[in-house]
Structure 1
């Protein structure tokens, strides 16, 4: 127990600070690296063993269950959880490392790591966090192989796998009914210096092995060394990160790094949305319920797209706009400038986050409306409008949580470029006495007025005649263009 306490105290002293907008230390990259650097520096005595640390950053129930869970983490075949604990919640964020183990060092040695997540009950059952298929633990846990020299891993999660490095999901196997969870994690070697570069990587680059490079940009390309190394870039070779967007999600690498504190990945698609709310004149304030957010996240997760909501959780959203019975275009744009851009037309979140307002209602053509895209990066949902129609929506099998998620996803779809199909925003698809209601019945999408308020999904185009592949036509970069 004393060993554990000592480790935690030492680890806490060297915890890196969260990324901020501060200027980072810049050095001239006048370092020559020999291919035989390791052999040439025989006077350096490398450590004989290495402490591997596994961080579980966040887990999210894809089945939207508020249940009790616990972890089992094996490092090199040994149970390595340093503090066994049961957690409860639908979306849990963690602040401390979960497991650690010290192993003997060998050059290029690959250490097996297994991450298991269990649901606590009368009989404990494994949750699915793996892309592997199978009814038993193999098809539900993560098996990884960590290289002690490079600090990289592969296996059930790896760099450029399409879903994010240090990010896995039970949805990846295509089976959505297995107590599926989404998990974010990291694996590092603890040496007390604050960055994630291994001792041997620092030797390779010619770095000081005891210096913290998490905030040092040696090649002056705008991104610190350890982020570049983690994602396969050379920290001594300047990259045009401002114009690199390998995953085509509208975020260049500078923006991916700025949002990496919230788990964005330069090789996996991310969508960030800041959401503000409105005070109600009577009754409950107009907000986007957490479960509505989870439903939207789940729909995108099935397509390896991660949606990040900021309703105050990420330090920007959650503002309460004063009550307004009906907001019009100029009022919506004024709210965007005040609450989203904070009076600065070039505020850094512009082109990084979409912006949504949950208001009472908005005006459209002289009548109230339930939703509207009012800017190339902004849209609104009228919560009171949805509430007014709940009597009818319940008769059709919907509920308030689903209706809010559906309308929100509809307007987000416009932000992502969904316009050019006859079944989108077709007023005549609303009622069964119109032929268009039946003509576009196969278009099972929240972009179809027949299904908005009831369906939280886009169509994949596989339902027959007059269907449309929304998912295949999303353009995540569209909000980044001044086409409006």
Structure 2
């Protein structure tokens, strides 16, 4: 059993060392006024301030229990009051935990002491939440590697170690009179907005992003030399050219980060979005769809690297059903892209944000491939095709060898590994991965010399591993003929570029 501990201390003073994110330092920040006397009623419009911690998702990124999926529970401490969730039994992914805790807190200034760093504390997240400004910092803070509201056990550089690493998504909120999420002190002393009227959705500076996003990702607290305090990286009342800002270099500018915020994107942590469209089944054959477990495998491998991978198989507004066609020609892929991904809108904002894949039954194209899209004079390498029937034949191509390579005799799980590998392989081409060992056609089988020559290159880009249980890119740590995929990927490759 693995415990996930999250301690929240509601305060406006902090004694612990604070991590200073480089991305926030790169911005010209404005310090907020400090007008908080020792005894200060932070919200005279409500009788009691309550703080709520909501657990949004829990994921095991490594093996926790050898013989079963792990059991999870969460322990939350708000000041000195402890809350313990029920146990989620035998679940590797707890995607809708439906667990939140609310506690009344003193609306007075207070201090905290630093934890002693024992074994339990090493697996506990200590977070300071400000009831004055509605922001938090500590073991999770604005601009850190894992993103705001997300904790990653691999952040201690244990990516390829069995260290019971998990991923925890959460949020911290508090009550306020107008229910817009902006505390009284922030509205009256910093934003000069009314604490009695909701400001949600307002865009006072008319830069295309409303105040709630600019607050969540633009206000932080850190010690900057001797000038510790609250700083606005993004000011909701000063115009920013957000279409030209991409803090994390993930191909999404801040306008696009706002549009995908509803699905968990973060402007300081890299995100990848993929839409999968499915062709209708071939007459006379059973329908073959991507196993849902495939998406979880891919998401885990990216999560360990602090890249959040998002799939749209219908859950994010895409996931179209394409009419069956047996003999696909090159122009068919262009037409499918235009009709089912772009929806015949040359300015569709999803282009340059989402990769696009199609699962088909083309009898004349038996292997997957990556291809580019072109709208007007703008081209991007952002698409791939996967052949459903061919991939299904790979499950038991050589039964014993296939089962050993995927570490399971379960056919459904083998198919999940196959789809995960090829989706990650084709996406890797869109991300610009190319080195010796990539797409090496004479390195698939043990009797071929390149099977052994590039054996150290443990990546789905290597045909030796694309249908295995690996589902990962290589980090280049295995010596000769290994390559560092993770440091080489270029997420901006899907941004459309001029092509004449």
Give the TM bin, normalised by the shorter chain: 0.7 to 0.9
CA distance in 1, matches of 2:363, 2:244: 37
Alignment partner of 1:444 out of 430, 452, 458: 458
CA distance in 1, matches of 2:479, 2:332: 42
CA contact (8 A) 2:294 2:419 kept: yes
CA distance in 2, matches of 1:58, 1:192: 28
Aligned to 1:209: 195
Residue 227 of structure 1 pairs with residue 234 of structure 2: no
Deviation at 1:469, TM superposition (A): 1.2
Alignment partner of 1:430 out of 428, 444, 447: 444
Deviation per residue, 1:425-444 (Å, 9 max, x gap): 22222344443333322222
Aligned to 2:134: 151
Aligned to 1:294: 296
Deviation per residue, 1:105-161 (Å, 9 max, x gap): 124x4689x9xxxxxxxxxxxxxxxxx998x54233322111221222122211111
Aligned to 1:350: 351
Deviation at 1:248, TM superposition (A): 0.4
Aligned to 2:497: 482
Report matched runs for 1:123-202 at 5 Å.
137-173=120-156, 174=158, 177=162, 179-202=164-187
CA distance in 2, matches of 1:347, 1:456: 31
Aligned to 1:470: 485
SS in 1 for 2:289: coil
SS in 2 for 1:443: coil
Report matched runs for 1:48-87 at 5 Å.
49-63=48-62, 69-80=72-83, 85-87=86-88
CA contact (8 A) 2:202 2:210 kept: yes
CA distance in 1, matches of 2:292, 2:480: 35
CA contact (8 A) 2:46 2:177 kept: no
Deviation at 1:197, TM superposition (A): 1.7
Deviation at 1:305, TM superposition (A): 0.5
Alignment partner of 1:372 out of 346, 370, 373: 370
Deviation per residue, 1:359-398 (Å, 9 max, x gap): 234755xxx2134335411112222111223223541423
Report matched runs for 1:326-345 at 5 Å.
326-345=327-346
Deviation at 1:96, TM superposition (A): 6.2
Deviation at 1:477, TM superposition (A): 0.8
Alignment partner of 1:407 out of 406, 411, 422: 422
CA distance in 2, matches of 1:143, 1:102: 19
Deviation at 1:208, TM superposition (A): 0.3
Distance 1:78 1:37, change over 3 A: closer
Q: CA RMSD in A?
A: 3.2
CA contact (8 A) 1:328 1:362 kept: no
CA contact (8 A) 2:294 2:416 kept: yes
Residue 387 of structure 1 pairs with residue 392 of structure 2: yes
CA distance in 1, matches of 2:485, 2:344: 35
CA distance in 2, matches of 1:133, 1:169: 18
CA contact (8 A) 1:425 1:447 kept: yes
Alignment partner of 2:314 out of 312, 315, 332: 312
Alignment partner of 1:453 out of 448, 467, 487: 467
* TM-score w.r.t. length of structure 2: 0.76
Q: Which stretches of structure 1, 4 residues or longer, exceed 6 Å deviation after superposition?
A: 36-39
Distance 1:180 1:433, change over 3 A: closer
Distance 1:372 1:429, change over 3 A: same
Q: Which has the higher contact order (CA 8 A, sep 6+)?
A: 2
Q: Which blocks of at least 5 consecutive residues in structure 2 are unaligned?
A: 1-30, 219-233, 374-380, 407-413
Distance 1:66 1:308, change over 3 A: farther
Deviation at 1:76, TM superposition (A): 0.9
CA contact (8 A) 2:126 2:139 kept: yes
Deviation per residue, 1:39-63 (Å, 9 max, x gap): 9xx9x95657421111222233335
CA distance in 2, matches of 1:59, 1:361: 38
CA contact (8 A) 1:370 1:382 kept: yes
246-255 vs 233-242, greater mean Cα deviation: 233-242
Distance 1:61 1:338, change over 3 A: farther
Deviation at 1:250, TM superposition (A): 0.5
Deviation per residue, 1:418-476 (Å, 9 max, x gap): 13x23212222234444333332222211112222113111111212222111111001
CA contact (8 A) 1:242 1:254 kept: yes
Distance 1:222 1:250, change over 3 A: same
Aligned residues: 424
